[in-house]
């Protein structure tokens, strides 16, 4: 099968589609100066946009890897995540506290979805 890469730069493709599976690179907030609420909302909106571009949506997310800078923010993230996900569509998920590539990034989410 063909591999489709979208929004590709020298080091990363933001969207890769292969065998009816969509892989998104890790998504961070557009404005990393916001608090955890603002950054989470931005990340989830970016995931929505990328999945739409790939021809799918959040109801088809298979798995999610969530990096949180500080575990104290997990409850806030979870509240926003749960409100964002369609009922009955919870993916396989991992949530870890991580040292982020940039100090100002509070959350990064990577998802895999079906078409």
Kindly report, residue by residue over 8-35, the tens digit of the pLDDT.
999 999 999 999 999 999 999 999 999 9
pLDDT at 1 over 90: no
8-12, 33-37, 38-42, 48-52: range with lowest mean pLDDT: 8-12
What is the spatial distance between Cα 24 and Cα 62, in angstroms, rounded to a whole number?
12
CA angle (67 as vertex; 63, 69 as ends), nearest 5: 165
pLDDT number for residue 49: 98
C-alpha count within 13 angstroms, C-beta hemisphere, residue 79: 7
CATH classification code of 4-114: 3.30.1330.40
pTM confidence score = 0.95
What's the pLDDT tens digit per position in 69-110?
Answer: 999 999 999 999 999 999 999 999 999 999 999 999 999 999
Domain extent listing, the chain = 4-114
């Amino acid at each position: 099968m063909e591999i489709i890469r979208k929004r590709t730069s020298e080091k990363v493709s933001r969207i890769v589609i292969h065998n009816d599976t969509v892989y998104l690179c890790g998504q961070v907030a557009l404005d990393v100066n916001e608090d955890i609420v603002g950054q989470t909302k931005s990340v989830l909106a970016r995931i929505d946009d990328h999945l739409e571009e790939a021809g799918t949506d959040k109801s088809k997310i298979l798995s999610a890897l969530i990096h949180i800078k500080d575990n104290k923010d997990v409850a806030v993230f979870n509240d926003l995540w749960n409100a964002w996900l369609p009922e009955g569509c919870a993916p396989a998920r991992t949530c870890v506290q991580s040292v982020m590539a940039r100090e100002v990034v509070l959350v990064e989410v990577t998802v895999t979805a079906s078409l």
